Structure 1
Amino acid sequence: MKSLILKSSTFSLLLLLLLSCKNEPKATSIETNNKANGNIKYARGFDIQHFENYTKLIIKAPYQNADKSFEFKLTKAKSSGNLNSIQTPINSIVVTSTTHIPMLELLQVEDKLVGYPNTNYISSKKTRKLISKGFIKELGHEQSMNTELLLDLNPDLVVGFSLNSNNKLFSTIEKFGIPVILNGDWLEETPLGRAEWIKVFGVLFGKEKEADSIFNKIEYDYLKVKAIALKSLNKPTVISGGLFKDIWNLPAGESFEATFLSDANTNYLWKNSRGKGSLSLNIENVFEKGQEADLWISPSFYKTLDQLKKANDIYPQFKAFKNKNIFTFVNKQGEEGGIIYFELAPARPDLVLKDLIKIAHPELLKEYEFTFFERLN
């Protein structure tokens, strides 16, 4: 598995995680009188509304280009069998992406996780201990989950991902009478928007206040360190990404990665490009524009400068290569080879931003130690 992870592109790995995902619950129309305003600041993909006897969780962006939202009635009363009515707090859960693990741990409900597809992907030491003790069952591959074992576990809820509305796996799970909620945090366009999805888990586990408090602290730290970065008069130029099958993939100017680089007070050379995903460029265009860039962030999955040098003759011609100012997150892995960045970064954008500021402006965070990144040697 380690070999698979290290050889895949970032997009490919994330796509693999997403394919572990799930189907959509049925869209409902729940009474909306006496709606209380939600406290969602950045996330666009969900909302939480409070009523006298229940709470409504609305998933507005469960997958790309979704044309409808999905509503769930959360109540302390026992569920009537309607998959859109969930008794809370839930006591057991199955999730399908490692990005959910840190949110469970932050809320201290990781012990409620009873199953996971392909547990080798999980890097967290705390959750790995639960796996080794048999408390979290291996549910097989994401695309062909062991539904028989899942039925035996009978979790209160499955939280999954899906690329579209057609997911047979999650339809099958729902036929067993197990509710499924699609988590669309990966579609959020800002770092804090992704992190705010902890509030979804908070309301499900009856820990809404705790989730709000945790997110507020992450938000505070993020904005605080962003303000520190703006004190620097130096604004180093940055390139990102690397070649995959002769195409250089790098973040578009409106992507959440570009937001990170902007908030770290750097001059990302493609900051004015349009798009919220990635750009696919030929190497000549990247070299022409980026050969004199001060920093190179995330050069694909290369672990050493020597690997990078052998991969393409043009790489050593970049100024950042010559000055050894290339930084990667792929070298920090869990015991089974999972890359920690992919698991923890969506929940902790404050730590990602601190890493990037440490790279771009090391004088501003002298005592801070990298969480994800390190210099490529």
Structure 2
Amino acid sequence: MISRRNFLKVLPVSALLLSGCAAQSAPANTDKLVFSHSYPLDYAAQFTADCYEGGYTLLSLPDSDQKFLVVPEDAAEVDALPDGVTVLRQPVQNIYLVSTSVMDLFIHLDALDTITLSGTKAEGWYLDDAKTAMEAGRIAYAGKYSAPDYEQILAANCSLAIENTMIFHTPEVKEQLERFGIPALVERSSYESGPLARMEWIKFWGILLGKEELAEQLFAAQAERIAVLADQAPTGKTCAFFSITANDLANVRKGGDYVSQMIELAGGDYVFSDLTDSGNSLSTMNLPLEDFYAGAKDADVLLYNSTIEGVVSTIDELVAKCPLLAEFKAVQNGDVWCTTQSFFQQSMELADFVVDLHRVLTEDAPADLQFLTHVT
């Protein structure tokens, strides 16, 4: 087996020198790729990027053993790669996008035109650009992750399927796509523990799309906004982030999750910061209402997650979901807020959520918030 250290130094391929105009002849070969440097990442831990002379970049997702060699459009062909390395030649186009959290990053990178197919219907998008593109026919629905329309995907000359980890529940779909010659990239941004780490995935897509400089600028702007708040003193206020499920359970984020970290960055204390569950890798868990009551009844602020069970606009709607909530301190004090349904799709605006929440914690009646609405 080739170690990662040796793999980075010399990546074996077969060889001819590139000559002539790329438009007039196919790219030639080279006998080796020479490692240049590791792409610098400040927060993300779920991918690495290793750069080689000539513009080649190896994107690796360590915990899943996925490796993708991004090859510039006119660069030499690459043969005899180690097992498990998939070549993606730029420009990467006609993408089948299943992972909804990736769409916002493509929109920010001005790369919506690289997506031809979606695993989400138009009505499932809370991003205006994505919804408009689907309604205009520029992006077509090609089936959800577990039941893609293979015929449609092949007819669209799809070069890449971008999946999330849900695909591991139906591994036969990934295998079928790959049998058809369509690489399936399972992105792992949801496994990042912090908001900055999740947003830094824009660099991953920037490398894939040849937009590294723009990706770095976008990320730096978001990181700077959060850094300003990180230097401020805690407010001393406690927060609960939750929704009430149809079977009368409270769905909450685990301690250490990126949402709980955003609450901390905004100056709050997450009431379930000590909550862990070693039974799975999910970032949420369901609590019996009695346990939720014990942990959150004295929270200063309640944040209702509308992305699971829908928006609540009034206290009466909220209490109808769970009568126990009428006894909560935040309900009695009128300090209940509801997230917008776009919250989890707007992956590149996490800094705005932190800013919104900081205003909720520090202002008497904050208005014109992007992600939070007052439940009255």
Q: TM-score if structure 1 supplies the norm length?
A: 0.80
State the match for 1:373 in structure 2: 372
Q: Which moved more, 1:248-257 or 1:314-323?
A: 248-257
Q: CA deviation at 1:318?
A: 0.8
Q: CA deviation at 1:195?
A: 0.8
Question: Residues 86 and 78 (structure 1 numbering): CA distance in 2 closer, same or farther, change over 3 Å?
Answer: farther
Contact 1:94 1:159 in 2 (8 A): yes
- Alignment partner of 2:141 out of 115, 122, 138: 138
Contact 2:195 2:261 in 1 (8 A): yes
- Alignment partner of 2:194 out of 190, 193, 196: 190
Structure 2 unmatched runs, 5+? 10-34
1:187-224 Cα distance to aligned partner (Å, 9 max, x none): 11111111111111111111111111111111111111
Work out the CA distance in 2 between the residues paired with 1:349 and 1:215.
11
Work out the CA distance in 1 between the residues paired with 2:127 and 2:291.
39
Contact 2:59 2:70 in 1 (8 A): yes
Correspondence list, 1:268-287, <5 A: 268-274=270-276, 277-287=283-293
Question: Residues 247 and 86 (structure 1 numbering): CA distance in 2 closer, same or farther, change over 3 Å?
Answer: same
Contact 1:79 1:87 in 2 (8 A): no
State the match for 2:32 in structure 1: none
Q: CA deviation at 1:246?
A: 3.5
Structure 1 unmatched runs, 5+? 1-26, 333-338
- Alignment partner of 2:151 out of 148, 153, 159: 148
1:34-84 Cα distance to aligned partner (Å, 9 max, x none): 3512211111111111111321111224xxxx4xx2211111237669871
- The AA in structure 1 aligned to 2:317 is Q
Question: Residues 31 and 133 (structure 1 numbering): CA distance in 2 closer, same or farther, change over 3 Å?
Answer: same
State the match for 1:290 in structure 2: 296
- Match status 1:45 vs 2:61: no
Correspondence list, 1:212-291, <5 A: 212-227=216-231, 230-231=232-233, 234-244=235-245, 245-274=247-276, 277-291=283-297
Question: Residues 169 and 226 (structure 1 numbering): CA distance in 2 closer, same or farther, change over 3 Å?
Answer: same
Q: CA deviation at 1:352?
A: 1.3
Contact 1:115 1:150 in 2 (8 A): yes
Work out the CA distance in 1 between the residues paired with 2:285 and 2:61.
28
- The AA in structure 2 aligned to 1:284 is E
- Alignment partner of 2:324 out of 287, 305, 314: 314
Q: CA deviation at 1:312?
A: 2.6
- The AA in structure 1 aligned to 2:186 is L
Work out the CA distance in 1 between the residues paired with 2:319 and 2:193.
33
1:75-120 Cα distance to aligned partner (Å, 9 max, x none): 1237669871111232332211221111111110111111102322
- Match status 1:208 vs 2:218: no
- The AA in structure 2 aligned to 1:57 is L
Question: Residues 196 and 159 (structure 1 numbering): CA distance in 2 closer, same or farther, change over 3 Å?
Answer: same
Correspondence list, 1:14-93, <5 A: 31-33=7-9, 34-53=35-54, 54-61=56-63, 66=64, 69-76=65-72, 77=75, 84-93=86-95
Contact 2:272 2:295 in 1 (8 A): no
Q: CA deviation at 1:348?
A: 1.9
- The AA in structure 2 aligned to 1:373 is L
Work out the CA distance in 2 between the residues paired with 1:174 and 1:306.
50
Work out the CA distance in 2 between the residues paired with 1:28 and 1:74.
20
Question: Residues 374 and 312 (structure 1 numbering): CA distance in 2 closer, same or farther, change over 3 Å?
Answer: same
- Alignment partner of 1:328 out of 327, 338, 345: 338
- The AA in structure 2 aligned to 1:359 is V
State the match for 1:113 in structure 2: 115
Question: Residues 118 and 243 (structure 1 numbering): CA distance in 2 closer, same or farther, change over 3 Å?
Answer: closer
- The AA in structure 2 aligned to 1:305 is I
- Provide the secondary structure at the position in 2 that maps to 1:118: coil
Q: CA deviation at 1:289?
A: 3.7
Contact 1:28 1:70 in 2 (8 A): no
Q: CA deviation at 1:323?
A: 1.7
Q: Which has the higher strand share?
A: 2
Q: Note the aligned Cα RMSD (angstroms).
A: 2.6
